[in-house]
């Protein structure tokens, strides 16, 4: 889908311009492709700045990889957990009969592929809502549970330890505070050339994770702050080109890439709608785009989020 979008956009644009202009547009398309491929591996020199990995093939859902272990004479729960490189609590969470900590010869235990808990999910929830409930990451839950867009009714949450009293029943949504990102990164709503999120790459049979959205625009169009904040970075980055990064309230960060000129400096305070810079374009090309990201601060660093979850004006179309 990701490459189809680019191919459709490029074909539509190149069919309407001269040979000289096509060369410039082709260079821009190549840059956009390289950006999408390298973004998960590059970024600012901040630990965990790009938390997602590069192109990857999803494995089978964790709950489809459960195995069984029959307790032998003399085995203890701790010994069984050590054998499978698990915490005893992980086995206890999946096996109510041994939640007291004792096992008996002949008992059959369910063994997961790694530490975590199994939970039930109410219909209609999103990966982001479930991640908020269990203080996890939506992209991790998405991949561990088979990369399906609709959240199953039963999922595995890695890295969460079971203990007596922990809820493994229905996860309920957590109400999020009002977002401080009430603006739009361009003067007018724009066509989305590349969407955020996992996109299939048919050529490799793998998924590619796009950390932001590319918004079609025109050269010299101003890039605007979607909310008040402080400029954390304004300059040239090896992956993004000319880039402005703004830190906002609630641990949010926005990034504006593919700029020709910058109108702000690091440390500067900006308000919603302030001009950050002008959008760049390829040589001899009147078409351009803004690459826009929303990130959330976490123990893993600044983790890319779906812009439409935090910017109400961002209607992806």
Question: Which stretches does DSSP call E strand in the chain?
Answer: 67-70, 108-111, 116-121, 154-158, 170-171, 192-194, 197-201, 206-210, 213-218, 222-224, 229-237, 241-247, 252-257, 259-262, 269-270, 275-279, 287-298, 301-305
Tokens of 38: 């390298």
Categorize the per-residue pLDDT at 315 as very low, low, confident or very high, splitting at 50, 70 and 90.
Answer: low
Host domain of residue 84: 69-111
Domain containing 204 — which CATH number? 2.70.70.10
* Residue 187 pLDDT > 50: yes
Same domain, 77 and 50: no
Give the residue, 311 or 16, on which the prediction is more confident: 311
Same domain, 98 and 201: no
| Percent share of the chain, pLDDT over 70 | 72
Same domain, 254 and 203: yes
* Top-confidence range, 120-124, 247-251, 263-267, 286-290: 263-267
Instruction: Evaluate if pTM is beyond 0.85.
Output: no
Beta bridge partners of 266: none
Which helix (DSSP H) or strand (DSSP E) does residue 33 occupy?
helix 19-38
Q: How far apart are CA 30 and CA 12, in angstroms?
A: 16
Mean pLDDT across the chain, nearest whole number?
A: 77
Q: How much is the pLDDT for 197?
A: 78
Q: How far apart are CA 254 and CA 244, in angstroms?
A: 8
Categorize the per-residue pLDDT at 273 as very low, low, confident or very high, splitting at 50, 70 and 90.
Answer: very high
* Top-confidence range, 29-43, 70-84, 271-285: 70-84
Q: How much is the pLDDT for 164?
A: 62
Tokens of 47: 């630990």
Q: Which of 11-15, 36-40, 168-172, 252-256 has the lowest mean pLDDT?
A: 36-40
Q: Which of 35-44, 81-90, 308-317 has the lowest mean pLDDT?
A: 35-44
Instruction: Give the three-class secondary structure for 88.
Output: helix
Which helix (DSSP H) or strand (DSSP E) does residue 32 occupy?
helix 19-38
Q: How much is the pLDDT for 238?
A: 87
Find tokens 């032998």 and name the residue: 72
Same domain, 73 and 51: no
Q: What is the mean pLDDT of residues 120-129?
A: 88
Same domain, 192 and 83: no
Q: How much is the pLDDT for 248?
A: 92
Domain containing 79 — which CATH number? 3.10.350.10
Same domain, 37 and 184: yes
* Residue 224 pLDDT > 50: yes
Please give the tally of structural domains in the chain. 2
Indicate the pairing of strand 116-121 with strand 170-171.
parallel
Tokens of 286: 């009147």
Q: How far apart are CA 258 and CA 300, in angstroms?
A: 26
Indicate the pairing of strand 229-237 with strand 222-224.
unpaired
Q: How much is the pLDDT for 285?
A: 54
Q: What is the mean pLDDT of residues 204-208?
A: 72
DSSP state of 177: P
pLDDT digits (tens, 9 = 90+) for 228-240: 999 999 999 988 8
Give the residue, 107 or 163, on which the prediction is more confident: 107
What is the rounded end-to-end Cα distance, in angstroms, of the chain?
14
Whether 151 is covered by a domain: the verdict is: no
Whether 195 is covered by a domain: the verdict is: yes
pLDDT digits (tens, 9 = 90+) for 35-73: 443 333 233 433 233 333 333 457 789 999 999 999 999
Categorize the per-residue pLDDT at 11 as very low, low, confident or very high, splitting at 50, 70 and 90.
Answer: very low
Sheet holding 259-262, edge to edge: 222-224, 275-279, 259-262
Categorize the per-residue pLDDT at 291 as very low, low, confident or very high, splitting at 50, 70 and 90.
Answer: very high
Same domain, 80 and 197: no
Categorize the per-residue pLDDT at 15 as very low, low, confident or very high, splitting at 50, 70 and 90.
Answer: very low
Same domain, 229 and 299: yes
């Amino acid at each position: 889908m990701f490459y189809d979008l680019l191919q459709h956009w490029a074909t539509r644009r190149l069919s309407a311009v001269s040979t000289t202009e096509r060369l410039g547009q082709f260079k821009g398309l190549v840059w956009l492709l390289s950006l999408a491929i390298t973004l998960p591996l590059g970024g600012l020199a901040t630990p965990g700045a790009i938390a997602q990995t590069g192109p990857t093939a999803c494995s089978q859902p964790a709950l489809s990889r459960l195995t069984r272990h029959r307790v032998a004479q003399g085995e203890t729960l701790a010994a069984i957990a050590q054998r499978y490189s698990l915490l005893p609590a992980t086995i206890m969470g999946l096996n109510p009969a041994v939640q007291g900590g004792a096992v008996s010869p002949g008992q059959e235990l369910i063994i997961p592929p790694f530490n975590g808990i199994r939970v039930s999910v109410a219909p209609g929830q999103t990966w982001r809502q479930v991640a908020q409930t269990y203080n996890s990451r939506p992209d991790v839950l998405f991949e561990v549970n088979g990369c399906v867009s609709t959240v199953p009714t039963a999922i595995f949450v890695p890295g969460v330890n079971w203990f007596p009293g922990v809820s493994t029943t229905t996860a309920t949504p957590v109400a999020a505070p009002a977002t401080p990102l009430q603006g739009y990164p361009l003067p007018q709503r724009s066509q989305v050339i590349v969407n955020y999120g996992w996109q299939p790459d048919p050529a490799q049979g793998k998924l590619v994770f796009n950390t932001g959205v590319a918004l079609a625009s025109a050269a010299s169009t101003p890039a605007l702050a979607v909310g008040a904040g402080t400029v954390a970075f304004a300059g040239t980055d090896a992956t993004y080109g000319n880039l402005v990064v703004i830190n906002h309230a609630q641990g949010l960060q926005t990034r504006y890439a593919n700029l020709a000129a910058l109108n702000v400096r690091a440390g500067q305070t900006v308000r919603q709608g302030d001009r950050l810079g002008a959008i760049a374009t390829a040589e001899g090309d009147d078409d351009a785009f803004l690459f826009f990201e929303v990130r959330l601060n976490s123990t893993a660093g600044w983790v890319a989020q779906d812009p439409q979850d935090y910017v109400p004006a961002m209607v992806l179309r």
